[in-house]
Amino acid sequence: MPAYHDKKLYQAADEEDAEYVGIELGFHGCKVTEGQIYRLERNYNNPHIFENGEAYVVDDETRDNYAVFMLCKIVLYK
């Protein structure tokens, strides 16, 4: 079942508005699937650095993956 439960998604303007991340092009070590949409999660453990929480996705190995934003070509959705 998809992360967004068949709800209509719209492209988000920036990371703060986004609720989901679509992987257009994955990196070999990133452990996400190209074409898949992942729910955007937020870590609020360090509010002095990340005002809206540090964004991450739970990857295919059920680990928190913060590198998706740097290593993969993504599309943000809301």
Q: 71: part of which helix (H) or strand (E)?
A: helix 68-71
Tell me the pTM.
0.85
Rounded distance, CA 39 to CA 59, Å? 10
What per-residue confidence (pLDDT) applies to 10?
Answer: 94
Name the helix (H) or strand (E) containing 68. Answer: helix 68-71
Q: List the strands of the sheet with 37-39, edge to edge.
A: 37-39, 20-25, 73-77
Mean pLDDT (whole number) for 69-78: 94
Q: Work out the average pLDDT over 57-77.
A: 95
Question: Whole-angstrom Cα distance, residue 55 to residue 40?
Answer: 7
Q: Is the pLDDT confidence value at 52 over 90?
A: no
33-62 average pLDDT score: 91
> What integer pLDDT is reported at residue 32 of this predicted model?
95
Cβ contacts of 40 within 8 Å, gap of 6 or more: 15, 18, 19, 20, 21, 55, 56, 57, 76
Q: Please check the confidence at residue 1 and state whether its pLDDT lies above 60.
A: no
